[in-house]
Amino acid sequence: DVKVTQSSRYLVKRTGEKVFLECVQDMDHENMFWYRQDPGLGLRLIYFSYDVKMKEKGDIPEGYSVSREKKERFSLILESASTNQTSMYLCASGGDRYIPNTEAFFGQGTRLTVV
Amino acid sequence: SQQGEEDPQALSIQEGENATMNCSYKTSINNLQWYRQNSGRGLVHLILIRSNEREKHSGRLRVTLDTSKKSSSLLITASRAADTASYFCATPSSNTGKLIFGQGTTLQVKP
């Protein structure tokens, strides 16, 4: 079974803290994604990576950065957490840049609360 | 920007009835995917339909695709209370594989 594992299920951080959300996949996928999910807004893409050290901004990259040093690991970084970043964060992996006809596999999500 | 937009936003039906959800998208695609999300969990892939397909079945799921109207529909037949979830359509960018989701339809199936 494909596994996408997010490091935390629930996280509470203080305003101004640097926050790391980790995601690991075991299927050798080239594509990995970070989404943010808020009520009424659906899933919004924050960043996308199609290879090690390669990344593309999604629709809402402001306030976030990412790191992909190894193929299996994709980290989302909140440089200085703010209360408006309180949300559910979902990591996914699937396919590669040139073969988009594949499904994405999701982690269980991290519910982040910034106080 | 959202590539797919689902309609309706919320749907409530009785067990045994059929549920139909629609998805519209803006640009050309090579496939469209449907996902399900149980409350507070990650998404699970349900079905993928390629741009050269018009209809696809998987168990009680039936997906149609009309590329001329840039729309797709997901039909769940003989619904069960366990089908209660949110359903999302998603389309990959044709040149990068970036996967863009719609806002989803929340389905409630009453026992």
What is the tens place of the pLDDT at every residue in B46-73? 999 999 999 999 999 999 999 999 999 9
Band of residue A102 on the pLDDT scale cut at 50, 70, 90: confident
Residue B1: C-alpha distances to residues B43, B55, B101 (Å): 20, 27, 9
**Mean pLDDT of the region B86-101:** 83
Provide, as residue numbers in chain A, all residues whose Cβ is less than 8 Å from the Cβ of B100. 45
Closest CB from B40, B41, B99 relative to A104: B99
Q: What is the mean pLDDT of chain A?
A: 92
Is B103 part of the contact surface with chain A (CB cutoff 8 Å)? yes
Provide, as residue numbers in chain B, all residues whose Cβ is less than 8 Å from the Cβ of A103. 33, 45, 48
Closest CB from A96, A97, A103 relative to B48: A103
**Mean pLDDT of the region B76-93:** 94
Per-residue pLDDT, A99: 63
Q: What is the mean pLDDT of chain B?
A: 91
Per-residue pLDDT, A98: 64
Pairwise CB contact (< 8 Å): B50 & A41: no
**Mean pLDDT of the region B27-47:** 91
Residue B76: C-alpha distances to residues A54, A78, B50 (Å): 39, 39, 19
Q: How distant is the Cα of A1 from the closest Cα of chain B, in angstroms?
A: 13
Bridge partner residues of A110 (DSSP): A89
Provide, as residue numbers in chain A, all residues whose Cβ is less than 8 Å from the Cβ of B103. 40-42
Per-residue pLDDT, B50: 92
What residues have CB less than 8 Å from B48, skipping those under 6 apart?
A101, A102, A103, B31, B32, B33, B34, B56
Is B28 part of the contact surface with chain A (CB cutoff 8 Å)? no
**Mean pLDDT of the region A58-63:** 94
Residue indicated by tokens 């629930």: A10
Is B88 part of the contact surface with chain A (CB cutoff 8 Å)? yes
Per-residue pLDDT, B1: 43
Using the predicted structure, report yes or no on whether residue B95 has a pLDDT greater than 70: no
